[in-house]
């Protein structure tokens, strides 16, 4: 219980602090006329000061110290607090005795109590937050950006700032949680109550790293849950430091490091860009505004980065004057895009003013080697695009002078493979982008032509057009079913056909593989159909053009919702066809669709009967169709039924569907569909 | 702008525009589309309008130095199967046909298409995988060309989303919300940054249908809609064929001069109306007329791909000679990027392989593989990959078990939101990197999950925008693309 009350000390101390300060303010205020009345309250407030400071003093006395605190600080805190309690008792005594002498001592005593309070508070704060908590913002060494990381001490530059941020709060000379003070080299190496915290050369077994890597819920995890945790980069650096024997005085550059560490270190290094930005004079908004009014696209890199990105690319109104205005912006310009702007060489004569230019895009302009001398005057250029310019090998050689380059785009310039190779040898660090290997895509096959007719069926004749959407392509075709080649008919213009014909066509072009053969059968219609009668109406969603769908000389596509199909869900249908007059009949054809994914199946069975009077039908033929055994993409099929040649006017097709999905279907047993289209009677 | 309260009331009630638009004759003529807010200076003829529109742009400067100047988003609609393309799972081969344990599935919500299935037989990829590039990235044999760019792309294997059906999932990816009505990513960028090219919209959209499932789910134009932002920021769809942009050409018998005159007159009337009502939609309308007029001359040149040499066609693949294919859209995307269009959105449909997956995905992959890789290579050789962000991916992944019957040669896969793969390349993305991991069965993520909002936040970050700061106040609250979520995936930034 006593321990619990003791632990309330950090809370209760705030009472005397606030109240004593309030008492002082009331005392001072009561000298004015307006707050004169406050005088009356003073004895009470002073009593509260005494009571609260006594309680605070007492809780501090019994608070467990756990041996983690710097004894020097604890004792300073104790004596200052005692001083504060004593002086506030004395203060009350002085207040109660109104003699002149005591009156004179009253205010100084008040100030004395306040001083004790301030010091006690300060040492108390140092105990809980660490001695340099207050001054940390002034020393500000963790924010430092490093210019050349290799020349820095690993401990001073990397490790100490990290420990300072994440560990020192609890492990300092003042507050040594677990008996550990990490602030000095000696105390760091000495370790804590459980012994040393680092094992030379073995990061993963070092308690320091072990505890950081424990899951955050673990009691042993450090820094404790709720405190700022080190980042994965910081942990990697710490591990690296311990692996390399945790040296306290060693240059980073002299320590062997992995690529991953290298990457992390780069983040610590201040880039040349940061240095350049610091030197920039701010540019007035009106300067930018004026420029943008002339049609130049210009923006600052970001809210905090004043470097300018300027684009005059694809702007044919570019002039030397306009460009000079850009060059006058000098070191502010970071990126300049002049692509496809009809740039001429002499326009760039003042390019050197752009001292901080990093990215220059000159591609797609009629410029030659004479621009290289201007480019070489740029001392910080990293990326240069000279794709599709007149610059050749000599120009590239001359460009070797620009040592800062990281990437050069040379595709379609006049530079040869050899020249590029030579440049690369001289500048091995530069990435040269010279287009993709055209061999990779050398072999390509043409697309076949599209065979187009007005309708997929016709009555007397129809015009056929062969279409290809590509230049210099020859189309060869046959109409007799044979495979076309370059000895077949060369297509020149649309032609007419009069019979059911299979058109086969190929496209041919130099340096391309000949296309696959495209073929299309264009069907001549049978007898004219006067009327179609359906035994039951199709589904409303797929009713095409109603009955006439079956005789409109337009075949349905592979798309069930194209409007040229009649769909029946879970139902059979009987179609009666009236030819209008008696004809000689030998063949009946029905088109159907199967698209298993959309629950559409071919019919199971089609019965054909005919009649002369639409009353007495005689059965002529039937066709049984095997049901699909596995899913497959949409398929169109014409079901053709031969019958003995005979006379009839009415033909009846009794179409039986499978009605339900087969067992293998993802939705077995669900109602399925039949989709039917054109009927042809011959 | 007028009184904001009044302005807002018109944002909410567009009818005011229609009911009153027949009155009044007005003042100022105007023309130029906005010079963008950040990149001002796209035309200076009519200060009046462009300054108003500039004020409507959200940002006066970039929050961060942008790594990417433009985005080409190759959206693969339907949910490409990560198992046959990107996420190599050898263990599935051993366990093929066994039931997915409930302990792995952990109550994951299923679509109506497989929730009735009584077993979930694990299905391994029919297609083999190999490592490619210096990075050793595993890629499927279905992607021979993508394999060539393994060292240029960053593969994220740990994407996850919240929706399990196409429309909500695509809407979620494109707008940050499963419910329709929010602005698309491209609209947000147009709103924040404006257009870089005064003759073209800042947000262009190209659609293509795949051969894998040619008649699969449709896409709705609201996916590239502006939501509650000014309609000026909506995506403009480009089509193949005679009319790349619908209703752009002058009607027959109207020449350019009389069109110009008509537009000037209409603009005067509209300006008058705006002065009276202050409805910002009127201004959007005026600038859209102007944009359309400019596009009459800029679009034909842009869409005329006949100037592309043969070797470029060969590179993008033979499909690129056929307008309207994914390959030809990739080629157009590069041309749009060259014209500084900020957000180029492609949609390739047909990745929804519930059944017949092995054959369908083979065709579907062939549609996109060469052209996607060619786009990266082409941008690279032109020096544009440095500041162009390319994204390749769908709205969700597919299940590790078969939908329907698993046979030796055939199976299907249902939608799976818990993990899937996308890749990104170019502007500010670490090349040759694989990020995130799924478990050995490919059902859950075990390392570095990337939520859709994280992806969106990262995209915005690369474009120089803090996703938490680009907001639009509508119906009393501030909206943003990532709602109240999203963390930038710093690990994949170069």
What pTM did the predictor assign? 0.76
B1 lies in some domain: no
Cα–Cα dist B259/B250, whole Å: 7
Which A residues in the span 211-240 are in contact with B, Cβ-Cβ below 8 Å? Answer: none
Cα–Cα dist B198/B15, whole Å: 30
Instruction: With CB atoms and an 8 Å threshold, state whether B65 touches A302.
Output: yes
Range of the domain at B344: 70-245+305-492
Answer whether A286 touches B (CB < 8 Å). Answer: no
Cα–Cα dist B371/B374, whole Å: 5
- Per-residue pLDDT at B40: 37
Answer yes or no: is the ipTM higher than 0.90.
no
CB-count burial class (<10 Å; 0-12, 13-18, 19+) for A659: middle
CA distances from B240 to A584, B2, B199, B332 (A): 48, 41, 20, 10
- Half-sphere exposure of residue B346: CA atoms within 13 angstroms, side-chain side: 31
- β-strand partners of B474: B477
DSSP state of B106: T
- Strand ranges (E), A263-406: 297-300, 308-311, 333-337, 359-361, 383-385
DSSP state of A102: H
Q: What residues of chain B lie within 8 A of the CB of A565, using their CB?
A: none
Residue A10: pLDDT band with limits 50, 70, 90: confident
Instruction: With CB atoms and an 8 Å threshold, state whether A597 touches B355.
Output: yes
- Per-residue pLDDT at B15: 43
Which B residues in the span 257-276 are in contact with A, Cβ-Cβ below 8 Å? Answer: none
Q: What residues of chain B lie within 8 A of the CB of A558, using their CB?
A: 214-215
Our CA-based measurement puts residue B170 at a distance from the nearest CA of chain A, in whole angstroms, of: 22
pLDDT higher than threshold 70 for residue B152: yes
Predicted confidence (pLDDT) per residue in A183-207, tens digit = 888 888 888 888 889 888 888 889 9
- Looking up residue B76, the CATH number of its domain turns out to be 3.40.720.10
Which B residues in the span 89-118 are in contact with A, Cβ-Cβ below 8 Å? Answer: 113-114, 116-117
Which A residues in the span 179-218 are in contact with B, Cβ-Cβ below 8 Å? Answer: none
Instruction: With CB atoms and an 8 Å threshold, state whether B196 touches A407.
Output: no
Cα–Cα dist A669/A663, whole Å: 7
B61 lies in some domain: no
pLDDT higher than threshold 90 for residue A439: no
Residue A101: pLDDT band with limits 50, 70, 90: confident
- β-strand partners of A590: A639, A679
* Candidate from A75-89, B223-237, B290-304 with smallest mean pLDDT: B290-304
B136 lies in some domain: yes
From A441, A468, A596, residue closest to B355, measured CB to CB: A596
pLDDT higher than threshold 90 for residue A51: yes
Cα–Cα dist A109/A101, whole Å: 12
- Per-residue pLDDT at B19: 39
Cα–Cα dist A392/A389, whole Å: 9
Instruction: With CB atoms and an 8 Å threshold, state whether B117 touches A311.
Output: no
Answer whether A48 touches B (CB < 8 Å). Answer: no
Phi-psi region of A330 (alpha: psi -120 to 50; beta: other; left: phi over 0): left
Q: What's the angle, vertex CA A190, arms to CA A189 and CA A193, rounded to 5? A: 130
Cα–Cα dist A664/A597, whole Å: 12
Tell me which of A584 and A633 has the higher pLDDT.
Answer: A584
Which residue does chain B place closest to A630, by CA atoms?
B410
- Per-residue pLDDT at B197: 85
Predicted confidence (pLDDT) per residue in A374-406, tens digit = 999 999 999 999 999 999 999 999 999 999 999
- Per-residue pLDDT at A68: 61
Neighbours of A343 (CB within 10 A): 23
Which pair of tokens denotes residue A495?
């032609």
From B39, B44, B404, residue closest to A299, measured CB to CB: B39
Answer whether A520 touches B (CB < 8 Å). Answer: no
Our CA-based measurement puts residue A447 at a distance from the nearest CA of chain B, in whole angstroms, of: 6
Q: How many CB contacts within 8 angstroms connect chain A with chain B? A: 148
Give the CA dihedral B481, B483, B484, B489, nearest 10 degrees. -40
Predicted confidence (pLDDT) per residue in A486-507, tens digit = 999 999 999 999 988 999 999 9
Average confidence score pLDDT of chain A: 88
Instruction: With CB atoms and an 8 Å threshold, state whether A666 touches B412.
Output: yes
B386 lies in some domain: yes
Question: What average pLDDT does the segment A280-294 reach?
Answer: 82
Average confidence score pLDDT of chain B: 86
From B41, B311, B383, residue closest to A438, measured CB to CB: B311
Backbone Cα Rg of chain B:
24
Predicted confidence (pLDDT) per residue in B34-58, tens digit = 333 343 333 333 444 444 454 456 6
Our CA-based measurement puts residue A430 at a distance from the nearest CA of chain B, in whole angstroms, of: 14
Our CA-based measurement puts residue A156 at a distance from the nearest CA of chain B, in whole angstroms, of: 28
Backbone Cα Rg of chain A:
47
Classify A504 as helix, strand or coil.
strand
Cα–Cα dist B340/B39, whole Å: 12
Which A residues in the span 304-343 are in contact with B, Cβ-Cβ below 8 Å? Answer: 305, 307, 311, 313-314
pLDDT higher than threshold 70 for residue A368: yes
B237 lies in some domain: yes
Which A residues in the span 583-612 are in contact with B, Cβ-Cβ below 8 Å? Answer: 596-597
B48 lies in some domain: no
pLDDT higher than threshold 90 for residue A365: yes
B300 lies in some domain: no
Q: What residues of chain B lie within 8 A of the CB of A276, using their CB?
A: none
CA distances from A485 to A448, A482, A502, A505, B221 (A): 13, 9, 16, 8, 44
Cα–Cα dist A221/B2, whole Å: 59
Q: What residues of chain B lie within 8 A of the CB of A470, using their CB?
A: 313, 321
Answer whether A60 touches B (CB < 8 Å). Answer: no
* Candidate from A151-160, A508-517, B123-132 with smallest mean pLDDT: A151-160
B37 lies in some domain: no
Helices A14-29 & A42-62, crossing angle to 10 degrees? 160
Residue B287: pLDDT band with limits 50, 70, 90: confident
| Structural domain count of chain B | 1
Residue B29: pLDDT band with limits 50, 70, 90: very low
- Per-residue pLDDT at A94: 87
Cα–Cα dist A22/A161, whole Å: 40
């Amino acid at each position: 219980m006593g321990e619990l009350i003791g632990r309330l000390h950090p809370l209760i101390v705030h009472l005397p602090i606030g109240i004593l300060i309030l008492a002082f303010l009331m005392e001072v205020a009561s000298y004015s006329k307006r707050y004169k009345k406050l005088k009356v309250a003073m004895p009470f407030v002073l009593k509260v000061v005494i009571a609260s400071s006594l309680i605070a003093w007492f809780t501090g006395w019994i608070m467990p110290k756990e041996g983690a605190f710097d004894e020097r600080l604890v004792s300073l805190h104790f004596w200052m607090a005692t001083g504060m309690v004593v002086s506030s008792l004395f203060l009350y005594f002085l207040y109660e005795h109104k003699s002149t002498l005591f009156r004179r001592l009253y205010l100084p005593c008040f100030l004395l109590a306040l001083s004790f309070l301030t010091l006690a508070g300060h040492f108390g704060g140092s105990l809980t937050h660490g001695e340099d908590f207050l001054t940390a913002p002034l020393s500000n060494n963790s924010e430092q950006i490093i210019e050349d990381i290799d020349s820095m001490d690993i401990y001073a530059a990397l490790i100490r700032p990290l420990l300072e941020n994440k560990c020192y709060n609890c492990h300092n000379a003042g507050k040594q949680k677990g008996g550990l003070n990490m602030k000095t080299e000696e105390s760091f190496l000495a370790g804590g109550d459980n012994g040393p915290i680092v094992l030379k050369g073995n990061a993963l077994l070092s308690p320091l790293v072990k505890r950081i890597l424990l899951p955050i819920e673990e009691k042993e995890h450090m820094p404790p849950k709720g405190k700022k945790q080190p980042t994965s980069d910081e942990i990697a650096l710490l591990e690296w430091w311990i692996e390399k024997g945790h040296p306290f005085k060693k240059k980073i550059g002299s320590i062997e490091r992995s690529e991953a560490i290298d990457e992390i270190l780069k983040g610590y290094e201040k880039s040349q860009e940061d240095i350049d930005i610091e030197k920039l004079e701010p540019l007035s908004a009106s300067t930018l505004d004026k420029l943008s009014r002339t049609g130049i696209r210009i923006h600052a890199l970001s809210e905090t980065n004043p470097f300018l990105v300027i684009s005059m690319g694809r702007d044919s109104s570019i002039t030397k004057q306009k460009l000079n205005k850009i060059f006058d912006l000098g070191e502010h310009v970071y990126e300049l895009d002049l692509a496809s702007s009809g740039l001429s060489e002499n326009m760039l004569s003042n390019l050197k003013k752009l001292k901080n230019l990093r990215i220059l895009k000159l591609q797609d302009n009629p410029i030659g080697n004479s621009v290289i001398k201007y480019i070489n005057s740029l001392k910080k250029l990293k990326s240069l695009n000279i794709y599709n310019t007149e610059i050749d090998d000599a120009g590239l050689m001359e460009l070797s002078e620009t040592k800062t380059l990281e990437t050069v785009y040379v595709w379609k310039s006049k530079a040869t493979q050899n020249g590029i190779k030579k440049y690369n040898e001289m500048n091995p660090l530069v990435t040269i982008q010279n287009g993709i290997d055209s061999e990779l895509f050398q072999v390509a096959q043409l697309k076949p032509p599209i065979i187009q007719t007005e309708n997929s069926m016709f009555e007397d004749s129809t015009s056929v057009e062969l279409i290809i959407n590509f230049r210099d392509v020859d189309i060869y075709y046959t109409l007799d079913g044979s495979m076309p080649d370059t000895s077949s008919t060369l297509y020149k213009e649309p032609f007419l056909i009069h019979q059911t014909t299979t058109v086969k066509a190929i496209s041919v072009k130099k340096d391309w593989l000949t296309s696959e053969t495209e073929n299309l059968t264009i069907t001549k219609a049978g007898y004219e159909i006067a009327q179609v009668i359906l035994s039951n109406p199709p589904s409303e969603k797929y009713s095409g053009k109603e009955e006439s769908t079956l005789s409109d000389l337009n075949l349905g596509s592979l798309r069930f919702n194209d409007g040229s199909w009649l769909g029946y869900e879970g139902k059979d249908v009987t179609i009666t066809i009236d030819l209008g007059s008696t004809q000689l009949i030998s063949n009946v054809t029905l088109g159907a669709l199967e698209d298993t994914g959309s629950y559409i199946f071919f019919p199971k069975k089609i019965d054909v009967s005919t009649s002369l009077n639409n009353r007495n039908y005689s059965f002529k033929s039937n066709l049984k169709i095997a049901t699909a055994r596995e899913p497959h993409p949409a398929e169109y099929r014409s079901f053709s039924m031969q019958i003995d040649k005979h006379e009839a006017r009415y033909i009846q097709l009794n179409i039986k569907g499978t009605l339900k999905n087969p067992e293998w279907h993802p939705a077995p047993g669900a109602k399925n569909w039949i989709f039917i289209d054109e009927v042809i009677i011959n | 702008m007028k009184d904001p309260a009044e302005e807002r009331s018109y944002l909410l009630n567009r009818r005011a525009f229609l009911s009153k638009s027949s009155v009044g004759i007005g003042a100022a003529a105007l023309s130029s589309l906005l010079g963008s807010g950040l990149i001002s200076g796209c035309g200076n003829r009519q200060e009046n309008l462009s300054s108003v529109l500039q004020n409507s742009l959200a940002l006066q400067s970039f929050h961060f130095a942008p790594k990417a100047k433009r985005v080409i988003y190759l959206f693969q609609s339907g949910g490409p199967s990560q198992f046959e393309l990107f996420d190599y799972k050898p263990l599935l081969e051993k366990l093929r046909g066994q039931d997915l344990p409930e302990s792995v599935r952990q109550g994951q919500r299923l679509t109506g298409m497989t929730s009735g299935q009584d077993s979930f037989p694990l299905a391994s990829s029919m297609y083999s995988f190999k490592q490619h590039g210096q990075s050793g990235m595993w890629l499927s044999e279905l992607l021979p060309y993508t394999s060539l760019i393994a060292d240029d792309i960053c593969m994220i294997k740990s994407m996850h989303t919240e929706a399990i059906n196409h429309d909500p999932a695509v809407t979620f990816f494109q707008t940050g919300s499963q419910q329709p009505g929010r602005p698309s990513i491209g609209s947000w960028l147009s709103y924040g940054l404006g257009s870089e090219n005064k003759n073209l919209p800042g947000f262009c959209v190209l659609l293509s249908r795949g051969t894998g499932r040619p008649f699969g789910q449709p896409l709705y134009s609201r996916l590239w809609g502006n939501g509650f932002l000014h309609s000026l920021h909506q995506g403009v769809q480009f089509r193949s064929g005679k009319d790349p942009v619908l209703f752009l050409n002058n009607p027959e018998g109207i020449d350019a001069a009389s069109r110009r005159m008509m537009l000037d007159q209409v603009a005067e009337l509209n300006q008058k109306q705006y002065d009276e009502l202050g409805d910002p939609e009127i201004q959007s309308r005026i600038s859209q007329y102007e944009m359309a007029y400019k596009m009459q001359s800029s679009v034909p040149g842009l869409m005329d791909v006949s100037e592309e040499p043969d070797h470029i066609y060969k590179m993008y693949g033979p499909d690129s000679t056929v307008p309207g294919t994914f390959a030809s859209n990739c080629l157009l995307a590069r041309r749009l990027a060259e014209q500084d269009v900020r957000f180029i959105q492609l949609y390739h449909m047909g990745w929804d392989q519930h059944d017949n997956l092995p054959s369908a995905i083979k065709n579907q992959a062939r549609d996109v593989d060469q052209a996607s890789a060619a786009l990266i290579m082409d941008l690279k050789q032109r020096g544009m990959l440095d500041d162009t962000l390319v994204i390749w991916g769908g709205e969700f992944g597919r299940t590790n078990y078969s939908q329907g019957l698993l046979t030796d040669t055939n199976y299907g896969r249902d939608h799976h939101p818990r993990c899937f793969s996308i890749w990104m390349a170019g502007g500010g993305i670490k090349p040759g990197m694989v990020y995130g991991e799924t478990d050995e069965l490919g059902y859950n993520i075990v390392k570095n999950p990337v939520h859709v909002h994280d992806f969106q936040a990262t995209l915005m970050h690369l474009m120089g925008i803090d996703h938490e700061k680009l907001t639009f106040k509508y119906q009393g609250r501030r909206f943003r693309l990532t709602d109240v979520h999203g963390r930038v995936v710093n690990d994949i930034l170069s």
